[in-house]
Structure 1
Amino acid sequence: MDLNQPTQENVEYMIEAIKTKLRMATGAAMQASSFTSDKYEDLKDIYDMVNSKDRFSISEVEALVSELGKLRS
């Protein structure tokens, strides 16, 4: 999958991957359809950061969820 292209399909893929990696209990509240490709670069940055780490502290998860919340349309 070429994540360099700002498509809605890629947005949905990244959101699902982030939710899985963070084991988000509130994952149902974060629907991929709430995100558009307008903020693609910001979402990609979060996706890349999430994929670069194996573990996250509670405060890191909270910060990531907060940032994702700001990107929702």
Structure 2
Amino acid sequence: MDLSQPTQANVEFIIEAIKTKLRMATGAAMQASSFDTSRYEDLKDIYDLVSSKDRFSVSEVEAIVSELGRLRA
């Protein structure tokens, strides 16, 4: 998938990938439609970080979820 463009489809892909990778129990509460494409670069940065690691500590997951919450529209 080409993630170079800030489209809503890419936002949806990124959010779903982050939720899957972090195995988020509260993933249902985080809808891709809650994120605006104007924050795409920030979302992409989080996606790149999440994609680059195999494991996350509880504090890392909390920090990522907190940052995602800050980026919601």
TM-score (norm 1): 0.99
How far apart are the structure 2 equivalents of 1:26 and 1:60?
Answer: 16
CA RMSD of aligned residues (A): 0.3
- Structure 2 counterpart of 1:70, which letter? R
5 Å-filtered alignment, 1:33-72, equals 33-72=33-72
In the alignment, what sits opposite 2:29?
29
Q: Which runs of 4+ in 1 moved over 2 A?
A: none
In the alignment, what sits opposite 1:15?
15
How far apart are the structure 2 equivalents of 1:4 and 1:17?
Answer: 16
C-alpha distance after superposition, 1:32-59 (max 9, x if no partner):
1101101000000000000000000000
- Structure 1 counterpart of 2:17, which letter? A
Corresponding residue SS for 1:24 = coil
How far apart are the structure 2 equivalents of 1:54 and 1:24?
Answer: 15
Question: Structure 2: which 5+ residue stretches go unaligned?
Answer: none
TM-score (norm 2): 0.99
Question: Structure 1: which 5+ residue stretches go unaligned?
Answer: none
Q: How many equivalent residue pairs?
A: 73
